[in-house]
Amino acid sequence: MKPSKCCPTIKTFQLTLLISIIIAHVFFFSGEIYAQQNTLPREVWVATVTLTAEFESPKDTIGDAVEDRINRMLKRMEEVVPYNPDIICLSEVFAHTGIRNLPAFPERAEEVPGPIVKKFAAFARAHNCYVICPIYTRKGNIVYNSAVLIDRKGKVVGQYDKINPTEGEIDSGISPGPVDPPVFKTDFGTIGMQICFDANWPENWRKLKEAGAEIVFWPSAFAGGSMLNTLAANNSYYIVACTRHEPARIVDVTGVDICSTGRLQSWVCTPLNLDKKVFHWDFQDKKFKAVQKKYGRKVGYSICHPEGWFTLESRSPDVSVESIMKEFDLITYDRYIHRADEYQKQHRP
């Protein structure tokens, strides 16, 4: 019997299919390696998870009782897990705010780590992320409105006590915290925290800047509006807000909103590049163009035309903004303003 004439065609098809599979695997794995190699050295994924009841809910917030609120917040945080967040921020005293018939503030407070903190510490440990857990805390007979920082291992590594509680809070037993806000070193950078009413005291936000904060987290009951944009722009750091039920925003170092929560989704998770700095255009325009010419896509930029600013951020593991500053003798916006201030003092009659 003569061999079928279709055999070569079948063999050719099989060979083509095998080659296609090999090529597909090569592209898949090389793409995976490429993605791993191009992770930015100072990129951090931050999440803000609010109490907002999402679309078509008859209420503003989730949870009618403390335990229900805690469990629903933990479930909501699980929705963020596929993004592998480095840090998740919750809203001001989230377990109690807006819930009726609760005991007085001193009775709501817990010594750290107490029952509430332990539950969120377990989440942090299970998902390898930091958590900012805002609660009422107690130290002896003193009660604070606080934000507790939990690390990736579920350990409490810091606590900020609201410096500027409202008159109503004070009358109800809440004490103002220490006047100098602390910063906290994490494995991705230096962070600070402020809470709600603190937004009205810009000097404390400046103290965080001077102490090296790169991101300031702001658990709050209200949204803050343009106050947050001004604070971010004036201090050249990111602000991550987490509100009760109004939109919570993440604000860029230039004061521009990056993203926001809302009725359609109660949380947001996004990357922030901590290797990003703000510069003034004066005396540096030619240097800026030289950076563009040499580095192209390796260095991201934006120009804030009305303000006379520009930003530079590393988009490659091969280059840092600090190294570019040294190479091109660039100075940041803050250093430029400080230099101008000193020069003015020297020449003021």
Is the per-residue pLDDT at 19 higher than 50?
no
Q: What is the rounded average pLDDT of the residues 57-69?
A: 71
pLDDT at position 51 is 87
pLDDT tens for each residue of 328-337: 999 999 999 9
Q: What is the rounded average pLDDT of the residues 321-334?
A: 97
Measured over the CA atoms of residue 43, residue 221, residue 91 and residue 208, the dihedral's sign is: positive
Is the per-residue pLDDT at 240 higher than 50?
yes
More confident call, 146 vs 72: 146
Is the per-residue pLDDT at 187 higher than 80?
yes
**Closest by alpha carbon to 83, among 129, 133, 134?**
129
Is the per-residue pLDDT at 1 higher than 50?
no
pLDDT at position 308 is 96
pLDDT at position 27 is 35
pTM score: 0.86
Q: What is the rounded average pLDDT of the residues 105-133?
A: 94
Per-state percent for the chain, helix, strand, coil, to nearest 5: 35, 25, 40
pLDDT tens for each residue of 120-134: 999 999 999 999 999
How large a percentage of the chain has pLDDT more than 70? Answer: 87
Give the tokens for residue 334: 């803050």
pLDDT at position 178 is 96
pLDDT at position 111 is 93
**CATH class of this structure's domain 43-273:** alpha beta
Alpha helices in the chain (DSSP H): 7-37, 66-78, 105-108, 115-127, 167-171, 202-210, 226-235, 285-295, 321-328, 333-347
Q: Which of 50-59, 88-97, 170-179 is most confident?
A: 170-179
Mean pLDDT of the chain: 88
SS3 71: helix
Q: What is the rounded average pLDDT of the residues 295-314?
A: 96
Furthest C-alpha separation in the chain: 112
- Locate the domains of the chain by residue range: 43-273, 276-347
Q: Give 142's pLDDT tier (boundaries 50, 70, 90).
A: very high
Q: What is the rounded average pLDDT of the residues 60-83?
A: 87
How large a percentage of the chain has pLDDT more than 90? Answer: 77
